[in-house]
Each structure stands twice: as structure tokens, then as C-alpha cells.
Structure 1
Amino acid sequence: MTAIALRKIRKTYGSLPVIHDVDIEIESGEFLVLVGPSGCGKSTLLRMIAGLEEISGGVLDIGGKVVNALPPSERDIAMVFQDYALYPHMSVRENMAFGLKMRGTADEAINKRVSLAADTLKIAQFLERRPAQLSGGQRQRVAMGRAIVREPSAFLFDEPLSNLDAALRVEMRLEIAKLHNRMKATTIYVTHDQVEAMTLADRIVVLNAGRIEQVGAPLELYHKPASLFVARFIGSPTMNTLSAELKTAANDELRVSIAGREFTLPSPEQMSQKNGNVTLGIRPEDLVRCSPAEAWFGGELAVVERLGSQTYGYVEIGQSRMLTVEFPRSAEIKVGENICVRGNPAGTHLFDDTTGHRIN
């Protein structure tokens, strides 16, 4: 197992900067996920670690060795791509063994490693087939097997599940999690899917326009997002965010005004802003139906989503805003009825209107 450190890593294309002074310390055996919207720089960063993109500035350290100038073949890492990248004219066995043969590994060792990896990934019965005879999930297992047989110091995954259907994504996500639990190899995984990030990661790095917004454990990012960007990106459905006016009440509570309605929140001991315009965030599960007298928000129920284990309602609260509310799964609610809800004060988040940074 190998630790990886990125120190002030930068990437520019000509005069255009795309990665800005990224600092990440990845512990040996850690599963780190790089997540963010399309174009945020996560795949570029991964390719720089792999040696497929030149590093414009900063230091990349793998296993205590600076590797900025080393070619991919000398970095002792294995990468699994989005499009599988299998040789169509080779069998599964030949695809998995190819890299080892190019390195001059003995045939006996190759056969042993291929058999072990095939058993682990449950593709032993497909070893003599060609990629065209396999499903998408099976091809991705072969691509993973090709990486495993190399026994690298670290694994890199570049959106490996994005070409699979929903059911296969869930299945392969579980396979990757089980594989990591068995091998305990240092892993860097790129995805735009925050559900994958939340379920797989030891830690998540949220990227936005080539900069790190926040690094932390999945639940840390979910319960205490450092910025409005992270709050909106992490969580499904996304966090409700509303423009609000903040005032300090006489008893040191915070009085919040949104769309003509007012309610109070307990004031934290240390808070950088207690008056003025802010953005209030609250997740759907922190809202409950209530009487009009207790209501923080109210409006007409526009849409109901019944997902079996969960029920979500979308309430029009004025100013062209829809509020997402999680109801009990058997809730008797109907489109068109008026709904009043109140929030859990402990579940509220306040963000600076200008910077987007967390206030409390």
C-alpha cells in the first residue's frame, strides 16, 4: 500500500489554468473519491496522477518518491477507464495477461494472477471469450481484472460505471467496495455521481472549476457543507436553498425572514454574520408537516414522487420557488392541496450571499 501526496498541483493549457494549486494527502490504503460536475477538472487531475497529462506546477509524490517526470509505466499504478479499453481481438485471459507479458513476467506467475483475479471478480467462466461476447458489466470486470493482476501500489478509476445501466451500476459499485475491502489498496476514484461518492469513499474531494471546495468524510460533507456549492451538490434530492434576511432578536435568537414568513433559530455562540441577507439551506428530511401557526413555509403541493421507501413532495412557496419535503412513505397527500411545513432548527445551514461560504 502506498501514500500519495499532491502539493500545489497546477495544470494549464497554454495560458488557460484548469487546475489551481490542489493540495491532497491520500493515506496508504485509503479510498478517495474526486467528485464534481462535468468540466471541474477531476479527470484531468486523475490523468496527471497517472502520468497521462503533464503536470504544469507543484509536486506529485507516490510512495515517498517525486514522480512528476516519470512515465506512466514507472509509477506503479493501474488505471481503469470509462470505456473499458479492451483489445477486441484478444480473449479475456489474453486481455488480463497482456500487461504482465509486456513486463516479462513468467507464464506460471501470469496464469496464477489471472486465475486469482478472475475468481475474485467472478469472471472465471468467461476467460476464453472475447470482449464482444460480454455484457457491459462483465467487460468492466475484465478491465478491473487487468488492473488487479499487475498488483500495483495504487488503483485509479476514471468514471468506470458511467456507461452501465442503473441496475449494473449498483451491482458494480458493490463489487468495487468489496474489492477494496479485501485488497485495502490505495484507490482514487473519479465520478460525477454523488451517490457513488457517498457510498464508496473514505473521504471525498469536491472540486469546482479546478479548485477544491471541501475535503472530508461523506457524512461530514452531507451534514456540514463548507459552501453553498457543496450543499447543493452533495445529497439527493438536493438541499433546499432559499434567500433569507437575518436579524438578531432581543433574546439573541436569530430571526429569519423568507418570502414574507418569519421564524427564529437559536444563535450559535460564534457566528460571523448575524444580520443581513443570507442563503438558508435545509434538507428535505429536516422538514415536517405542521399546523399553519407553526409553519416556516406554506404553499400548494405541485408534485408528489412516491419511490416506495420514500415519498417526496414539491411545494410551491412563492417567488417561483419549489420546496422539496420528505414525507412518511405512506403519507396521505395529494397534488393541489395546501401544505404547511416547519424545519428542524438543528438541520438548518446558513451561507454568505456573496462568497457562498458557510456562516454558522
Structure 2
Amino acid sequence: YVTHDQVEAMTMADRMIVMNAGRAEQIGTPLDVYERPATLFAAQFIGSPSMNVLEVEGREGALSVGDMRLPNPTGHSGPVMLGLRPEHLTPDPQGPIAMQVQLAEPLGANTLLHGKLPTGQGFTASLPGVHAVSHGGEALRLGIKPANMHLFDRATGMRLG
């Protein structure tokens, strides 16, 4: 069965193949592909809203992007791509991720917050419940568990660690 509808694929499939330009990027159960994407393409294809992807630098046991320092779950040093699923982010006043919220989409069970990081890059968080934003540009700090961070090689797009 072939589909471009990821929700359909996630709910109907026992196993799935994520294809990219005629080649299999990843083969596995839907949850395997979602929880441990083998490539950056597979990571960005599965999940709604899409995974946030940041160019970061691994050094001194941390991942740096602009002035933000995040935990480094693999200890990899050098330039890498970091994937963060919007639904894995949590409000945390001491969190390492600083976001300026520009738009809130209340969806009932959760709220999508769209904004920018201090680097100017767009960023999305999906938080449970209703989160009102009083005005554009509201500051929000977010945390993420290292187990929910995905690192990919910047040149090949392959998963690291």
C-alpha cells in the first residue's frame, strides 16, 4: 500500500518504508521511524508539525546554537544537525531554548506555538492544553530531555549515536 499521508501510514502500517528520490531512507515500524529516525529526511517527513532542525556545534560537552547551550546526548563534537520534535518540548523557566512566540494556535488538547529563536530561525512548540499568548514577541523558555534529541551528520543526514 502506498500513501503520502503520514497519519494514514502511522495508523495502518505494521512496517513502513520512507522513500526519498527512489531510495529507501528507512524501513521499520511506524514508532521506530518516529522515535529513532535513521536520517534527517525521515525525521522531517514523519511527525506533524514537522521536527525543528537546527544547525548546532558540538563542543565542551554541549551543543551550541547562537547563545543557547543544550545538552549533548552523544558527546559528538563539531557541526551537526539537531532535531527537536515540537511535542517533546516543555515549558521550563530555566530551559536552554529561548523562543519569541509570534503566533499561538489553540487546538483544544494542545496549543501550537510558532515563533523564532534568538538566531532568527523559525521554531515550533506543541504544548499540552491551552496556552494563550497576550502579544506577539512574548518570551518563552523551553526544555527538552536529552533522550528526545536527535543528532544527524550535517553532510550525509545520517543519524549520529
Unaligned runs of 5+ in 2: none
Q: Which residue of 2 aligns with 1:6?
A: none
1:343 maps onto 2:144 in alignment: yes
Kept in 2, the 8 Å contact 1:227–1:356? The answer is yes
For residue 307 of structure 1, report the CA deviation from its aligned partner: 1.2
1:261: how far off? 1.1
Map 1:246-325; keep pairs closer than 5 Å: 246-247=58-59, 249=60, 254-267=61-74, 274-291=76-93, 294-325=94-125
Alignment of 1:196-207 (within 5 A): 196-207=8-19
CA contact (8 A) 2:56 2:80 kept: yes
Larger-gyration structure (1/2): 1
Decide which structure has greater helix share. Answer: 1
Match of 1:174 in 2: none
Aligned partners of 1:334, 1:263: CA distance in 2, in Å? 28
| Structural RMSD (CA) | 1.5
Any unmatched runs of 5+ in structure 1?
1-188, 269-273
* Length, aligned pairs only: 160
- Render the CA deviation track for 1:324-356: whole Å, top value 9, x for unaligned: 111222234334211111111110000000000
Percent same amino acid at aligned positions?
41
CA–CA separation in structure 2 for the residues paired with 1:344 and 1:301: 21
| Bigger mean CA offset, 298-307 vs 275-284 | 298-307
Taking the aligned partners of 2:49 and 2:74, their CA distance within structure 1 comes to 27
1:214 aligns with 2:26: yes
Per-residue CA deviation, residues 44-76 of structure 1 (Å, 9 max, x unaligned), is xxxxxxxxxxxxxxxxxxxxxxxxxxxxxxxxx
Relative to structure 2, which stretch is displaced further, 329-338 or 276-285? 329-338
Alpha-carbon distance in structure 1 between the residues aligned to 2:3 and 2:73: 37
Question: What per-residue deviation string (whole Å, max 9, x for no partner) do you get for residues 4-61 of structure 1?
Answer: xxxxxxxxxxxxxxxxxxxxxxxxxxxxxxxxxxxxxxxxxxxxxxxxxxxxxxxxxx
Q: 1:298–1:315: 8 Å Cα contact kept in structure 2?
A: no
Deviation of the 1:290 alpha carbon:
1.5
TM-score for the superposition, normalised by structure 1:
0.43
Aligned-residue offset at 1:224: 0.2
> Once the 2 structures are TM-superposed, how far is the Cα of residue 259 of structure 1 from its aligned partner?
2.0
Deviation string for 1:79-115 (max 9, x for gaps)? xxxxxxxxxxxxxxxxxxxxxxxxxxxxxxxxxxxxx
- Give distance in 2, aligned partners of 1:321 and 1:266: 22
Contact kept in structure 1, 2:99 and 2:142, CA below 8 Å? no
Give the conservation status (yes or no) of the 8 Å contact 2:25–2:42. yes
Whole-angstrom distance in 1 between the partners of 2:73 and 2:2: 39
Aligned equivalents of 1:315 and 1:199: distance in 2? 30
Structure-2-length-normalised TM-score:
0.92
Quick check: which one's strand share is greater?
Answer: 2
Cα shift at 1:266: 4.0
